[in-house]
């Protein structure tokens, strides 16, 4: 399996609090992605990165920000969590934007 | 409907039977990929088929692509209980800048 870890794996937080999820890779892949998975929607892209400090928005980026200061780490921040952001969040990596993606184990976030 | 939409939403079969899942999409693509997700885990890449390919095999998996109908099918032959999982297609639109679009998935249950 590709070396991808996500932390934390589970988190419960209250509405209005900031939350940061971390994705760490050991594969030195250029591209990193954050998705959220909700029943009936499959995976939806939040943000992605194509290099250190190079990021772009995905389909559902409102309410989320990202940062990538090192090749191996990609952070997803919810500035002020809302109940609609309760979801399972997956990080993925790939060598090329058109190639297969490798997924992390996911983070289950509950916003109460 | 969504780009990359699987059909059926759920499928239940007996061990040893074949399972067929379909994916329809709306825009022209560079490639189409199939992923598997076991309960509570991240997605695992199964197979990638390019827009100029019509059929591809990998072990017990057979994927077809019909770009004229904008559809793909995934066939799992001689299914096993371990094949129980959700299966997702992901399309790579050929419009520059667009990322993969995942469908909502097909939930496959293989009964022993």
Domain boundaries defined on chain A: 4-111
Rounded to a whole number of angstroms, the distance from the CA of B103 to the nearest CA of chain A is 5
User: Is the domain covering A4-111 a CATH 3.40.50.970 domain?
Assistant: no
DSSP B23-45: EE-SS-EEEEEEEEE-TTS-EEE
Q: Strand B43-50 to strand B29-37: parallel, antiparallel, or no bridges (unpaired)?
A: antiparallel
Say yes or no: A31 contacts chain B, CB-CB below 8 A: no
pLDDT digits (tens, 9 = 90+) for A58-102: 989 999 999 999 999 999 999 999 999 999 999 999 998 778 999
A16-38 b/e with 16+ CB inside 10 Å = b? eeebebebbbeeebbbbbbbbbe
Query: With contacts defined as CB-CB under 8 Å, which chain B residues touch A106?
Result: 40-42
pLDDT digits (tens, 9 = 90+) for A7-57: 999 999 999 999 999 999 999 999 999 999 998 778 999 999 999 999 999
Residues 6+ apart with CB under 8 A from B20: B73, B74, B75, B76
| All structural domains of chain B | 5-111 (2.60.40.10)
Query: With contacts defined as CB-CB under 8 Å, which chain B residues touch A97?
Result: 99
Say yes or no: B25 contacts chain A, CB-CB below 8 A: no
Residue A77, SS3 per DSSP: strand
Best to test chain A binding among B6, B30, B42 (most A CBs inside 10 Å): B42
DSSP chain B: --SSEEE-SEEEEETTS-EEEEEE-SS-EEEEEEEEE-TTS-EEEEEEEETT-SEEEETTEEEEEETTTTEEEEEE-S--GGG-EEEEEEEEESSTT---EE---EEEEEE-
pLDDT digits (tens, 9 = 90+) for B8-67: 889 999 999 999 999 999 888 989 999 999 998 999 999 999 999 999 999 999 999 999
For residue A108, name the pLDDT band (cuts at 50, 70, 90): very high
- The separation between the first and the last C-alpha atoms of chain B, rounded to the nearest angstrom, is 34
- Look at B42 and A104 and tell me if their CB atoms are within 8 Å: yes
User: For B83, phi and psi rounded to 5 degrees?
Assistant: -80, -10
Inter-residue contact A74 to A48 (CB < 8 Å): no
Nearest beta carbon to residue B103 from set A42, A48, A103: A42
Instruction: Report how far residue B50's alpha carbon sits from residue B31's, in angstroms, rounded to the nearest whole number.
Output: 4
On the 0-12 / 13-18 / 19+ scale of CB atoms within 10 A, B71 is: middle
Across the range A102-110, mean pLDDT stands at 97
Say yes or no: A53 contacts chain B, CB-CB below 8 A: no
Q: Strand B10-14 to strand B106-111: parallel, antiparallel, or no bridges (unpaired)?
A: parallel
């Amino acid at each position: 399996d590709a070396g991808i870890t996500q932390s934390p794996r589970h988190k419960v937080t209250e509405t209005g609090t900031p939350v940061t999820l971390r994705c760490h890779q050991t594969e030195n892949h250029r591209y990193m992605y954050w998705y959220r998975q909700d029943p009936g929607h499959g995976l939806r892209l939040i943000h992605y990165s194509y290099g250190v400090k190079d990021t772009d928005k995905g389909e559902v980026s409102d309410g989320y920000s990202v940062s990538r200061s090192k090749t191996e780490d990609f952070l997803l921040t919810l500035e002020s969590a809302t109940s609609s952001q309760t979801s399972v969040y997956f990080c993925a990596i790939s060598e090329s934007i058109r190639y297969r993606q490798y997924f992390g184990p996911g983070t289950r976030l509950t916003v109460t | 409907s969504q780009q990359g939409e699987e059909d059926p939403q759920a499928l239940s079969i007996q061990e040893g039977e074949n399972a067929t899942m379909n994916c329809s999409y709306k825009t022209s693509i560079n490639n189409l990929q199939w992923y598997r997700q076991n309960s509570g885990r991240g997605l695992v890449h199964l197979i990638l088929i390019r827009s100029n390919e019509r059929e591809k095999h990998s072990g017990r998996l057979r994927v077809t692509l019909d770009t004229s109908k904008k559809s793909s099918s995934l066939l799992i032959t001689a299914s096993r209980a371990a094949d129980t999982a959700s299966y997702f297609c992901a399309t790579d639109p050929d419009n520059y800048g667009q990322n993969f679009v995942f469908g909502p998935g097909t939930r496959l249950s293989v009964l022993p």
